Amino acid sequence: MNEYNEILLSHLKIGFCGAGRMCQALARSLIENNIVSSKDQIIASDVDENQRKIVTSQLGIVTTGDNREVVSESNLLILAVKPKDVENVLKDIRDQFLPHYHLLVSIAAGIRITTIEKFLKPKSRVLRVMPNLACLVNSSCSVYSSGHYATDDDRSIVNTIFSSVGSCEGEIDENLLNVVTALSGSGPAYFSIMVDALADGAVKAGLSRSMALNLAIKTMMGTAKLLLDKNLGFHPSQLKDAVASPGGTTIYGLEAIEKAGIRAALMETVTAATDRAAQLEL
């Protein structure tokens, strides 16, 4: 983080509308990674009183049932409610939200920036980010799109905040956010299915469930690390070739994958999820 960013961050008061899983993961990371210097720099609202109690006791941040209080106590507002609840929140906050003072960052899937801008006062600064659930373990990967009035400082802050829960891969055209939602937003579900199925195969061949799951999960993690290692520089197909020796076990396994049409199924997975994201878009 550069010095200028540090100055920007020291003036931030971050307000979450919606204190669910994403809010908690982000807030915890902001505190643990010293992106905010004090818990007082964060406030969160939620309609659910029980949720508010959990967040206050676990994270030590102030919570409220009133979205307007969050706006009046913050200058960066993170919209972290489910997409169906976005309209209610925006209606709540419209009067308090000041375009020259507040920045709104939405992580709500499928809610377009223009839809958000329409609810707010003219020239409101809005950014839309697509992280994933790996926020919970500081391993999310996010991208963002900017609204018409967002500034470079706004982008820089968003970059810092979402890098603190993993990586922020930069800005993309908002029209591509549906693909991102389908790939990295939904991705943890796809990889979980693969781990589960591979473990099933090992259980079928006699391995215990716990050992099979453990090995499958760690193999997924190791593979990710191999593919991310810049010194090794493996493209996925090179890594596959490196493991598959002539006439060995891996190439037989790979043949089974190809016969089952798994590549095509995975491509279709992303296409179907992208299409669904487009259908749900508001």
Ligand X SMILES: NC(=O)c1ccc[n+]([C@@H]2O[C@H](COP(=O)([O-])OP(=O)(O)OC[C@H]3O[C@@H](n4cnc5c(N)ncnc54)[C@H](OP(=O)(O)O)[C@@H]3O)[C@@H](O)[C@H]2O)c1
Binding annotation for NADPH: 67
In angstroms, what CA-CA distances link 279 with 4, 10, 24?
41, 40, 29
Q: Which of 73, 85, 169, 281 binds ligand X (CB under 6 A)?
A: 85
Smallest separation, CB 77 to ligand X (Å): 12
CB 78 within 8 A of CB 26: yes
104 binds ligand X (CB under 6 A): no
Taking the CA atoms of residue 183, residue 189, residue 193 and residue 195 in that order, the dihedral angle to the nearest 10 degrees is 90
47 binds ligand X (CB under 6 A): yes
45 binds ligand X (CB under 6 A): yes
Q: Binding segment for ligand X among 101-109, 153-161, 214-222, 253-261 (CB under 6 A)?
A: 101-109
192 binds ligand X (CB under 6 A): no
Residue closer to ligand X (CB basis): 90 or 212: 90
Residues 121-180 within binding reach of ligand X (CB under 6 A): 130-133
Q: Binding segment for ligand X among 7-15, 19-27, 34-42, 143-151 (CB under 6 A)?
A: 19-27
Residue matched to tokens 């993690």: 221
Q: Binding segment for ligand X among 47-55, 191-199, 225-233, 249-257 (CB under 6 A)?
A: 47-55
Residues 194-233 within binding reach of ligand X (CB under 6 A): none
Smallest separation, CB 79 to ligand X (Å): 8
Q: Binding segment for ligand X among 74-82, 117-125, 209-217, 219-227 (CB under 6 A)?
A: 74-82
Residue closer to ligand X (CB basis): 59 or 81: 81
Q: How are beta strands 125-130 and 76-79 bridged, if at all?
A: unpaired
Q: Which of 22, 126, 199, 273 binds ligand X (CB under 6 A)?
A: 22
185 binds ligand X (CB under 6 A): yes
Smallest separation, CB 65 to ligand X (Å): 8
Residues 235-264 within binding reach of ligand X (CB under 6 A): none
Number of amino acids touching ligand X (CB under 6 A): 28
Residues pairing with 76 in the sheet? 14, 103
Residues pairing with 176 in the sheet? none
Smallest separation, CB 101 to ligand X (Å): 21
Q: Which residue ranges make up the site for ligand X (CB under 6 A)?
A: 17-23, 45-48, 51, 67, 80-83, 85, 88-89, 107-109, 130-133, 185
